[in-house]
Structures are given as C-alpha cells and as structure tokens.
Amino acid sequence: MRTPKKNLYIPHLISGGLITNYYCTSACRHCLYGCSPRWEKKYIETSMAARMLEIIGQMGCRSVHIGGGEPFLNPGGLIDTLGAAAECGISVDYVETNSSWYRDENHGITLLSRLRRAGLNTLLISMSPFHNEHIPFYKVKGVIAACRETGVGVFPWITEFYPEIDTFDDRTSHHLEEYQAVFGIDYLDRIPSRYWIHFGGRALDTFSASFPGFSSEDICSRNATGCSELRDTSHFHMDLFGNYVPGLCSGLAIQADHLPGPLSHSEYPMLSLLYSEGIGGLYSMARHRFNFASNGSYISKCHLCLDIRRHMVVDYGVETMELQPLDFYRNV
C-alpha cells in the first residue's frame, strides 16, 4: 500500500454520542450500525464510559446523547453510564430507545423513575415503519405515557410517522410491505424525503433501488478527492470498545486514546488512504491486494466503500483496528 500524503487529524469534537451496546432486539433495515439480536450481549463498562467521556470533554464537547443498540437492555449499566457522565461533568442531552423493553404501565413508570433519579432528563423515542417491523406500537405509546408520568421529556423521532403507524393494530408488529399496501408501492422510496437517514450501514442496501446507481469507476471519477468527511465531528460517536467512529462512517474506527492525532499511516493505512486519496485509492488497493470485484452499481462512494470493507473482513478475514467492530460487517 502506497504511503498517503496527508495525516488524518481530529482537532476538536462538536456534538455526538456514546454507544452503550450494539446488541438490539431489532434489526432495522435503515440501521447505520447494523445492530441486531445476533450481536453479543456486551454493554459498556463504567470505566470505559468514564474514559470515553473524559476524552470527549478534553476535546471540547460538554454534552452527549446515549444510544445503541438499545441502551435500556441493561438498565443497571445505563444508570452507571449516566453516573459516569455526571462525574465527568458531561451533560446528557437525551437517551435513545426503541421501546422494546416496555412491558406494562407499572414497569415503565418504575424504570423511568429510577433513571430520572440517575440523571435521565429526555428520552428520544424512535418511531418509524422500520422500528414497527419489530416493535408493536403499544410499547411506544406506553413509554410516552410513562415519560409524562415521571417527568421525563419526550423527544419523538419522528412524530410524522405516528398516524401512519397508528393505522395498524398496535398490539403486533407490521412489515414494510403492509405500509406499501396501504400508502403506496413507492412508500419506501419516499421515506428519505421525510426522515433524516444517514446512508451507511443497512440503509445503503435497503435504499439501493431508490436512487440511481453508478459503476465503481464512475463513483471513483465523481469523487476524485480525499474523504474530508472523516474529520466531521458534528455528530460523532464513541463506543463500548473504545472506538471513535470517524465521520459517521460505521465500521471504521480510531482508537479514542489516539485522538486527536495526527494518525500514523502505519497504524491506520486505510483511513489514511481514504483521507488522502478518497474512494479511488481504497478501490485501487482493494482490487490489487484483495481481489475485490464490484457487485454491480452503487448509489454513493459510501456504498462502494462499505462493499469493499465488507469483502475484506467477511471474504478475506482481514482483522485490523481500523475496521471495527468486526461484527458490524457480519450484520449489514
């Protein structure tokens, strides 16, 4: 692999979150991080949470959100993480949930009361057709009601889908095909115009037929410069394994202890190549070193990048600290 010309450097953090776990009871079609029930049931250790939060504070960010996976699958761990944030002087903007944990009114109120005392102020409650494929809507309604009873703020993401989801029986889950039958065959194609989705992870394959596709060569020629997005910290994440995810590029990792950089080319050859030469550099390297062959067309450079990285990990067994976590590639 040729030596890149530029060193990736992350000067400061603006706004982001802490991923407590990748294990999730759902496997949503749009999930950026490929979360699913197939992941190991690992949860962030309190010491790791404290270390990640310490680094976040040192790099200029004073608040975070907490997400997953599903943070509520380990309530004790979530309470400890909230405590670690308080000790580090980092405020928690909100905790994300898909409401799968909800059993009944008493259970919801009891758990949210505990978390309220531990520092939970606002709950981002996911509601979308993708979530409804796995989670009956009565659970979402129950969590909203429990928040109102306990004084926890509700951040519904997003309310626009509420009436559509509520069209169906709320005691069971519903496939996307049911939405298409009621709201039109182009229902999936219209979702990106209504709902912020970062096109990474599973979303790339899910929406591959919704946008024009291009060959690998066209993608590379259209994106001839380095991937400056790797420096974007407007919505960063750190995870339970001590990884910093650069630029919302799920499956790429920088060890948080190596921030702010500059990153060594020898330790981070692929990230350095992407930052210096862009997708064309990675594509050329993958073809020559790993016999990568395109699987058709791609909607973006991120789509091609993920296909290359998945080939390297799944087909070639590549294990490196910059392609982490490995289970991401087995779950997208």
Cα separation, 110 vs 89, in Å, equals 26
157: which strand partners?
A: 126
Residue with tokens 């943070």: 71
pLDDT tens, 168-219? 999 999 999 999 999 999 999 999 999 899 999 999 999 999 999 999 999 9
What are the phi and psi torsion angles at 96 (to 5°)? -90, 145
DSSP tag of 151: T
Alpha helices in 89-135 (DSSP H): 105-118, 129-132
pLDDT tens, 98-130? 999 999 999 999 999 999 999 999 999 999 999
Q: Which helix (H) or strand (E) holds 84?
A: helix 75-88
Cα separation, 267 vs 139, in Å, equals 45
Q: What is the mean pLDDT of the chain?
A: 96
pLDDT tens, 192-205? 999 899 999 999 99
Cα separation, 198 vs 272, in Å, equals 23
Q: What percent of the chain has pLDDT over 90?
A: 95
Cα separation, 5 vs 233, in Å, equals 22
Can you give the residue ranges of every domain in the chain?
16-196
122: which strand partners?
A: 153
Nearest Cα neighbor of 300 from 230, 233, 214, 241 is 214
- With residues binned 3-state (H G I as helix, E B as strand, rest as coil), the percentages for the chain, rounded to 5, are 45, 10, 45
Sheet containing 16-19: order of strands: 153-157, 122-126, 91-97, 63-67, 16-19, 236-239, 243-245, 254-255
Q: What is the pLDDT of residue 295?
A: 80
Neighbours of 62 (CB within 10 A): 12
Confidence of residue 42 (pLDDT cuts 50, 70, 90): very high
Q: Which two tokens stand for residue 24?
A: 């999730």
Confidence of residue 156 (pLDDT cuts 50, 70, 90): very high
Instruction: Return the CATH fold of 16-196.
Output: TIM Barrel (3.20.20)
> Which amino acid would we find at residue 325?
P
- Asked whether residue 58 carries a pLDDT value surpassing 60, the answer given is yes
Q: Nearest 5 degrees, angle CA 265-CA 271-CA 274?
A: 110
Contact 144, 177 (CB under 8 A): no
